[in-house]
Amino acid sequence: MRRGYSPRGHTVGDDGDEDRRRRAAVRRGGDALRPALRLVEGGAEPESPRRTARARERTRQKVAATPVDRQSNTRSVRARQTQRATATKASGPRRRVIKRRLPKIGNPKRRLRLGMTLILLIFAIAGGRLVQLQVTDAAAYAADALGQRLQEEIIPGSRGSILDRNGERLAFSGAARYVYADPELIEDPKKAADKLTPLLGIPTRELADKMKQTKGDGPPSRFEYLARGVDVEIGDKIEKLEIPGVRVAYDERREVPGQDLAANIIGFTGLDGNGLGGMEASYEDILAGRDGERKYEVSASGQEIPGGFHREEKAKPGSDLKLTVDSDLQYQVQRILSDTMAKKNAEFGAAVVMDADTGEVVSMASAPSYDAANPMEYDKSLRGDRATDSVVEPGSIHKAIVVGAALEEGIIDRDSEPVVGPTITKADNTYRDTHPHEKRPMTIGGILAHSSNVGTIDLADKLGPEKLYEYQKKFGLGAGTDVGVAGEAAGIVREPSTWQGSDFGSIPIGLGVAVTPLQMAAGYNAIANDGMYVQPSLVECTISPDGDKDKADAPKSHRVFSKKTARDLQYVLQGPIVVPDGTGTLAKIPGYNVAGKTGTGKLVRDGEYAPGEVASFVGFAPADKPEYTVAVFAYTPGGGGGEVTGTAFRDIMQYTLGHYRVPPSTEKPADIEVYPT
């Protein structure tokens, strides 16, 4: 079949070829009217619309007239595939088809199961953690969180006052301020310290270290003291600085209105308010108050949260301590002692005034002294009490013990006249009297008046070392008096088994024995108290914050001499004052009979004798009816006891008798001669 139309670009020959291909396709079972596909450069040759329509119509009619045969249909499909392959091969080189392997699609059910498992696991972990936080550890976490928000503030417990026997305050706690820091709220410790140093007088580095946040295993500190006992005015200035994390609160500071008045007895406290010396230290448990505490919840800015946690434990004040000391008398005794030291160029001195009946210490002075309100500004050696911590040789004041023991043991009586030689030798040491004389009888009052070494050693030989040692102990030597002042020394009294060589001559006259001024005052007070030793006391009572008084325990007492021996000793001890050339004539007081003894010994320092002399005078008045005992000691470059301390003894005793309105003596002074006529 020929067609009248040829597409553009085709020739008749080309149409012939096309007819042949179409007939071949029909023989293979294909569509004779469908042109074979072929690849041509530039794309497929367009086909005439009219031819295409007629071809589709013939194909439709043929399919409608032909029964359906799957096998022939399959062969027809294969024929067309072959035809297309042949056309492709004829049109040019065959392109290589690269088959790509598509990824395997996962199983959605498996993914769902895995996802569900993960979700359930997450919920289980979260739920378990919630149970732990809200049930198991809820209290601990809540407490920890609260602890981080809590601010602690100390409420100082008022320290008790120290009063004299008349109720005058010797030391008390006055209003002050303390400065503290919350390190958690301080951003720049160095900057804050720079502002505080000029006001507090504390080095910047020290303040900055306190304000740094604590680093360690424990919880961070929210409270650090920066200074205590700060003046109220200084505290107000610090508050005006408004330094974040630095606060000022009420505090107390120890006030001592008398400054050095009775400072050796009162003692002093540290910056934290604790007692460090004297009665402040000895009676710390009674004087110290119990601090209270205030805890409250604060915000991040450090302000208290209204309605938040708040707990306050009230402070408990300490009790007052009422002493037996008379502040008026104490002032005069300190003045007299200081004047004596200045005149005699003494390094230190001590004076004690005791009530003969009760053993109460109404005055106990040390010189030089210090300001108990500012103790750290003074050398440590000035902050003690010379009456209780200085260990000295008693010297000739020890002779009264030997004479009293000889009287008590019946070796002599008040009217005895033993023969006394000019010297006596013990081992390699020869002892002689300061008043030279030949071998002759002397009165007992004369032995004391001239402070005879030879006469005293003779009496000690008759008494024996064991008996002398026994009376030394009864006299209170070698043991602390437990008067209550911190740091009291016990002194040294040697047992007879340790005596050797010249000890048998030295110990009776007060050499080789170590005592404190208070011990000798208490011993002579036993003579004044008719032979009854009464433990010296400084505390009358304690007064609770409620005003209840608790009297101090009754002092211990024991008998040293019989009343008769004591009375005889009171009489013969007037010898040093009434005998014209006696060692204690400077102690005379108009209108009063005075009994006493002078002494000169050595200072024991670090177990060795120090250069210089310790002059002393111990006695009581009125001698016929003793009311008060006075002891005065002074460590000087040299000089006898009467010369150095006689005047001081007289002035102290005279003021004491007048202060307490003691009536003058009604009996005549003792009639004593050194050598019997």
282 with 354, same domain? no
Looking at the predicted structure, is the pLDDT value of residue 640 above 70?
no
Residue 73 has pLDDT above 80, yes or no: no
Q: Are 569 and 523 part of one and the same domain?
A: yes
* 84 and 20 together in one domain: yes
416 and 312 share a domain?
no
DSSP lists the bridge partners of residue 173 as 254
How much of the chain exceeds pLDDT 90, in percent?
60
pLDDT one-digit tens code per residue, 375-396? 988 988 899 999 999 999 999 9
CB 62 within 8 A of CB 36: no
Most confident of 87-101, 304-318, 418-432: 418-432
Q: Which residue has the higher pLDDT, 395 or 252?
A: 395
Judge if 607 and 640 occupy the same domain. Answer: yes
pLDDT in tens, 567-612: 999 999 999 999 999 999 999 999 999 999 999 999 888 778 888 9
Total domain count for the chain? 3
Q: What pLDDT score was predicted for residue 334?
A: 97
Asked if 290 and 356 sit in the same domain, the reply is: no
pLDDT over threshold 80, residue 333: yes
Domain match, 414 and 530 both: yes
pLDDT at residue 81 in the model? 62
Which pLDDT does position 224 carry in this prediction?
Answer: 85
The full length of the chain comes to: 677
User: Are 192 and 268 found together in one domain?
Assistant: yes
Q: Angle at Cα 465 formed by Cα 463 and Cα 471, nearest 5°?
A: 75
Q: What is the pLDDT of residue 266?
A: 95
Single out the residue of 603, 672, 261, 638 nearest to residue 443, CA to CA. 672
Read off the pLDDT of each residue in 344-372 and give the average, rounded to a whole number: 95
pLDDT value at residue 285: 93
| pLDDT band, very low/low/confident/very high, at 223 (cuts 50, 70, 90) | confident
Q: Which range, of 28-37, 154-163, 562-571, averages the lowest pLDDT?
A: 28-37
Q: Which domain holds residue 431?
A: 348-367+390-534+553-659
Question: What residue has token string 């030597």?
Answer: 477
- Dihedral (C-alpha) 562, 566, 568, 570: value to the nearest 10 degrees? -170
Q: Which residues contact 600 (CB under 8 A, 6 or more apart)?
A: 395, 396, 613, 614, 615, 616, 639, 640, 641
Tell which residue, 652, 556, 623, 659, has the closest CA to residue 364.
652
HSE, CB side, 13 Å, CA atoms: give it for residue 309.
Answer: 16
Confidence at residue 45, expressed as pLDDT on a 0 to 100 scale: 47
Q: Are residues 181 and 318 in the same domain?
A: yes
Q: Are residues 171 and 306 in the same domain?
A: yes
pLDDT, tens only, 605-627: 877 888 899 999 999 999 999 99
Note the pLDDT tens digit of each residue in 127-155.
Answer: 877 776 666 656 665 555 555 567 677 77
For residue 277, what are the β-bridge partners? 268
Instruction: State residue 43's pLDDT score.
Output: 46
User: Do residues 606 and 617 touch, judged by C-beta distance below 8 A?
Assistant: no
Choice among 221-230, 416-425, 651-660 with the minimum mean pLDDT? 221-230
Residues 314 and 445 in one domain: no
When pLDDT is averaged across residues 274-286 and rounded to a whole number, the result is 92
Q: Which residue has the higher pLDDT, 495 or 306?
A: 495
Position 315 confidence tier, pLDDT thresholds 50, 70, 90: confident
In a domain, 609, yes or no: yes
pTM: 0.74
pLDDT the model gives residue 366: 95
Mean pLDDT of 35-45: 47
CB 659 within 8 A of CB 330: no
Q: What is the pLDDT of residues 151-201, one digit of tens each?
A: 677 777 889 999 999 999 999 998 888 898 888 888 888 999 999 999 999
Domain match, 595 and 562 both: yes
Establish if 315 belongs to a structural domain. yes
* Single-letter residue type at 664: P
> Which range is most confident: 52-66, 114-128, 565-579?
565-579
Final residue belonging to a domain, choices 76, 91, 106? 91
Q: Which of the listed residues 62, 91, 120 is the one where a domain comes to its end?
A: 91
Residue 336 lies in a domain: no
Confidence of residue 67 (pLDDT cuts 50, 70, 90): low
Least confident of 57-61, 128-132, 531-535: 57-61
| Residue 382 located in a structural domain | no
Least confidently predicted of 141-145, 316-320, 432-436: 141-145
pLDDT band for position 222 (cuts 50, 70, 90): confident
Residue 340 has pLDDT above 70, yes or no: yes
The rounded distance, in Å, linking the Cα atoms of 600 and 587 is 16
